[in-house]
Structure 1
């Protein structure tokens, strides 16, 4: 896509750089002797500027490792606290590849780090707002770092979260620097948002338009203002990178290109950026994977609502009863939402119905600590995923060919759930977005789990999910759509 838009002939010496080994990430390995072709003077340096929320930190770190595997130096720039968080939770990434990333720790501004309100009707994690506000104090430190790097390089390429646009605005004052937004959301969500912003009609069939979830209640007014405050600084960018594949969202990538035609921004769909061939050695003794090793193929549903959702005691009780009544095997990650600083404060210990864990010990596993989600989804015993539908979780599940029981909670999640269930048809909806403030009953949960895991309809959904996953994984190999896009991006920034 980007190759067609750039209008420039690629320098064959640059294309050779794009063939370097990408050993740990999504893309197929190349012979190590190719590394000998790499210049050591690091003419082009990349600076990653993530937004301080787990799903964003994680995706930018995955992309850092992917780009670093082309032999380019990559700096990951953020507050010391959030850089530490990114490293501690680097699921599925090989430690030796993370070691190649240059983490540049900025002093962490002081901010309140309250616990989540698990009884709030809105699931939006407003308790994280102080940490997000504090991140806007990093502009001068980021600008100083980029100026320093730019004085020693032919070109500095800044790849940043769209929510950090304000912080990287000084890029425009440097003659040898250019910036790109990395979008941590689905292209469908981005396209839908642009249509609403410009008053354009959404190009979907009539039946799908009727089912499209409203944007009401997806976020707080404060975060909407925060997001809007980034808009004036987004035009500085030279293009957009997307964590998706043409195999998944080709139609919406084309529609997005049409919608943004006047902005003349380049687009690259390089996803999935997570490793598709996972190194399990670092998780050999993990309780979840050991338990999965003893289960039949595709028999287990994995339940996790990410790092920004807290369930109330009533919701947890209904979910526990629903899982028990479904009689399906499960792994349930039962954790509260993150605080702004995950290294402070004591997490709430949720109480399950009396005797629950003892009664289900033959069929279920409750996990209260951090779980290796990509490895769980990649395991042959995993046959379904009950998810909040954050894009990180969606892209992991899609890549591993696992169907989704979609239970969106806030932000882009209702749109992602719609993409999964109505467009890709690789999942079932647990509850409609319009009923988000109603308690989901145990019987509803039992029915959805049973349908996904033990019915003909569920088998059909799983078959589609597996076929899509296989196609997505192929797209990351040499000659595949996503590999071509990534090579194109590398060729462009090293031109």
Structure 2
């Protein structure tokens, strides 16, 4: 830190898993570039969460990043409510509100780092806009906003705001008010960084460039940030899910996971269970509650399945009640389809691995992402349209969609399309690829 010519990059994530995951990948990617000192600043429990759920990188790579535990007092960590009228994770709102308390210690950290750096670069999650304001007060600092959802959703959200249309139903009222407060703290950043690539969202990135809100702001599409998956890696700690997948043929298993912020009702659990059983296909089902504010208070689920279900599916299905290394599961040769909520992390990982998606959006950007995969890229099917979001998906529909994706000519065509997308997405991050070029331009600008 004594090198006055050093460029210091401070990453400021929002403390929710999908946001932490993307920015940790980005931090690790930056740490491989010479001349950059990379710092990751979040609360102690969320730094620990990010490290614990590291995927695709060796644990030793974490030593290349300087982690800073910003103090955060104890906050309520209620469990998710599976009977809530909305699937948005309202139980996490106390955590979201508490991030205001990170501002002061973050300011002190940035000031300290700026004195021993030629240039201080602050990359903050779009929901941590005050970090940009703090950077603006430092002479040798500049800030960049990192947008964690898709470019498609960013275009849609901007259009709705221009029309004066509320984002009702996608988010809770409390979260919408929270984001409005954060928007008031926004400072025009030096650039916008998105975990996407032109091969997937070229049209939306071009539309974004025409939006008044991003006039004169360079956009860097640098995704996918997750490492290029390698099927059946042997140099990683083998999770029990991977051991189970090892025993099954290629493209034979349906992977079911609704991410870390979605919880489905008991009635829906039952219908999903019967639908998977009736499909006759192998399945790996992650049945867990949404994360709490502190995941270490409850890392697994006690959700009940229909009586006798787990015994009935022995040898056919596996139910897991904790977190799993999803990137490795999707990269496994046995995984042939993915029932997903369509969070952007999951979408990018599925596309990287060439796995078709059975889209089941719950909230936020997920309905937009589901349509992008199903109608735009043709690498998936929508299980339940957003217009029917309040309905319980019947077992018959689950069975129908699983069979469509896993069997027959339509399923084979979709799988081939997913493989082509996978090759294009991976190539984007390699030499000569659009995302690699965008990152090269960004880093070169920082080193100027």
Task: State TM-score, norm by structure 1.
Answer: 0.87
Per the TM alignment, residue 267 of structure 1 is displaced from its structure 2 partner at its CA by 0.8
Q: How far apart in 2 are the matches of 1:384 and 1:461?
A: 10
Deviations 1:430-486 (A, max 9, x none): 101111111111111010111111121121111111101111111111111111111
1:254 aligned onto 2:203: no
Determine helix, strand or coil for the equivalent of 2:220. strand
Partner of 2:21: 58
CA 1:319–1:450: 2 relative to 1, 3 Å: same
Indicate the residue corresponding to 2:175 in structure 1. 223
CA contact (8 A) 2:107 2:134 kept: yes
**Deviation for aligned residue 1:282:** 5.9
Report Cα offsets for 1:397-430 as digits up to 9, x if no partner. 0111111000000111111111111111110001
* Aligned match for 1:141, one of 89, 105, 121: 105
Tell me how many residue pairs correspond in the alignment.
445
- Which consecutive residues of structure 1, in runs of 5 or more, have no partner in the other structure? 1-38, 202-213
Residues 445, 215 of structure 1: alpha-carbon distance in 2 compared, 3 angstrom cutoff = farther
Q: Show CA shifts across 1:144-197 (max 9, x none).
A: 100110111110000010000024411111111000011110000001111222
Is 2:263 aligned against 1:310? yes
Q: Take 1:200 and 1:346, find their aligned partners in 2: how far apart are those partners?
A: 40
Tell me, in whole angstroms, the C-alpha distance in 2 between the residues paired with 1:262 and 1:283. Answer: 41
Q: For 1:336 and 1:102, locate their aligned partners in 2 and report how far apart those are by CA, in whole Å.
A: 31
Equivalent residue for 1:381, pick from 325, 334, 337: 334
Identify the residue that residue 193 of structure 2 maps to in structure 1: 241
- Judged with a 3 Å threshold, the aligned counterparts in structure 2 of structure 1 residues 261 and 317 are, in CA distance, closer, same or farther, namely closer
Matches within 5 A, 1:154-165: 154-165=118-129
**Alpha carbons 1:136, 1:167 under 8 Å: kept:** no
Aligned in 2, Cα 1:348/1:289: closer, same or farther, shift over 3 Å? closer
The counterpart of 1:324, out of the listed 277, 283, 304, is: 277
Matched, 1:151 2:115: yes
> What runs of 5+ residues in structure 2 fail to find an aligned partner?
none
Q: Do the aligned residues in 1 keep the contact of 2:3 with 2:117 (CA within 8 Å)?
A: no
CA contact (8 A) 2:56 2:229 kept: no
The answer to whether the 8 A contact 1:109-1:135 is kept is no
Distance 1:326 1:150 in 2: 58
Q: Please show how residues 88-487 of structure 1 align to structure 2 within 5 Å.
A: 88-199=52-163, 215-260=167-212, 263-278=215-230, 280-281=233-234, 283-345=236-298, 347-487=300-440
Distance 2:343 2:228 in 1: 19
Q: Write the deviation string for residues 99-145 of structure 1: whole angstroms up to 9, x where unpaired.
A: 21110001122211000001112100000000111111111110110
Give the conservation status (yes or no) of the 8 Å contact 1:378–1:400: yes
Instruction: Describe the SS at the equivalent of 2:295.
Output: coil
CA contact (8 A) 2:40 2:65 kept: yes
Is the 8 Å Cα contact of residues 76 and 101 (structure 1) preserved in structure 2?
yes
Kept in 2: contact 1:138–1:167 (CA 8 A): no
**Superposition deviation, residue 308 in structure 1:** 0.6
**What's the offset of the Cα at 1:494?**
1.1
Distance 1:384 1:361, change over 3 A: same
Query: For the residues of structure 2 that align with 1:348 and 1:66, how far apart are their CA atoms?
Result: 33
**TM-score, L = length of structure 2:** 0.96
Deviation at 1:233, TM superposition (A): 2.9
- Offset, 1:296: 1.1
> For residues 491 and 397 of structure 1, do their structure 2 counterparts lie closer, same or farther at Cα, with a shift above 3 Å needed?
same
Measured after TM superposition, the shift of residue 269 of structure 1 is 0.5
